[in-house]
Amino acid sequence: MTDTGAPTLWRMLREAAVQTCALVAPRQCPCGREDTRLCPHCTALLESEPCRVESCCDALQELSAARVRDEVHGDLMLPAGVDHTPLLPVLALGEYGGDLQRLILAWKNGGMLHLGARIAPALSPAVARLAGDADGALPFLVPVPSQRSARLRRGEDHTAELVRAMERSGAGRALLLRAQPTTAQEGQGARQRRNRQILLRGRAARQAGLRAAPVVIVDDVVTTGSTLRGMHQALTAAGMQVLGAVVVASARVPTEPRTAGERTG
């Protein structure tokens, strides 16, 4: 056997093994393209520049000012109304729709657990932006809690596994806390969802609070922001420093471009 023949034989054997495995577990991208675990188009979705989305999350808005009539501040005319300040910055890879939505659903509920290893490094730039002012130290990554019924249905805690994969990719340090949402989201009104409470228990939460550890919240999708609000309140009450949150997708994204000087923390 020549030196040039060995690599060719290896490629043939590898392709034969791949095709045989495909008979049992077909290779298919969440978008439907066959013979690939993740097609170039869906790979590009994960490589998108993270965008700020907290302005689209109603539950994250805090009343900062109210005016009963127009007011002049320097050269700026402020109309009657209210101003809101976001509770924390939130970065997402894109809008929850189309192929990005299909990718997330395939990872969460479709049994394509391998996608977590592709999503994890995609969120690293977002974590780095939030941790830019944290003296260069890697932040702790805290996953949002899932209902027990959801974990049993999926066979795993997908956000916890995502955080572990992000730690392996060098984005930060996984901090898996004993966190429990007090209520489910389904059937709740806007006010109840906004005031969703999350309980933290255990030694890890107490130790992180005593160190005032810098943390980044990690979730798959943000809609109203009520879960992120509950996590922010629980973590800050425990003594931790919340730098912000990163999510794979947001139900809505801003239509206006963000300014270059916008703060990220």
User: Domain with 139 in it: what CATH number?
Assistant: 3.40.50
Confidence (pTM)? 0.78
Cβ atoms of residues 141 and 128 within 8 Å: no
Tokens of 21: 């495995």
Over residues 215-231, mean pLDDT:
95
Is residue 24 assigned to a domain?
A: no
Most confident of 12-16, 129-133, 259-263: 129-133
Residue 12 lies in a domain: no
Tell me: pLDDT of 20 over 80: no
Domain-located, residue 241: yes
Q: Give the pLDDT of residue 263.
A: 41
Structural domain contains residue 25: no
265 domain residue, yes or no: no
Which pLDDT value is given to residue 111?
81
Kindly state the average pLDDT of the residues 26-41. 88
Mean local confidence (pLDDT), 135-156: 75
Sequence-ordered list of residues with C-beta below 8 angstroms from that of 134, at least 6 positions apart, any chain: 214, 243, 265
pLDDT band for 66, please (50, 70, 90 cuts).
Answer: low
Residue 23 has pLDDT above 50, yes or no: no
Which residues lie closer than 8 Å to 31 by C-beta, 6 or more apart? 39, 41, 42, 99, 102, 103
The answer to the question of residue 192 being in a domain is: yes
Residue at 30 is within a domain: no
pLDDT at site 149 = 59
Find the range with the poorest average confidence among 21-25, 140-144, 160-164. Answer: 21-25
The structural domain count of the chain equals 1
Does residue 23 lie within any of the structural domains?
no
Tell me the average pLDDT across 204-218.
92
- The predicted pLDDT at position 262 comes to 44
Strands in the chain per DSSP E: 51-52, 61-67, 71-73, 76-78, 81-86, 90-92, 140-143, 173-174, 178-181, 198-201, 214-222, 241-250
The whole domain housing 241 covers: 40-250
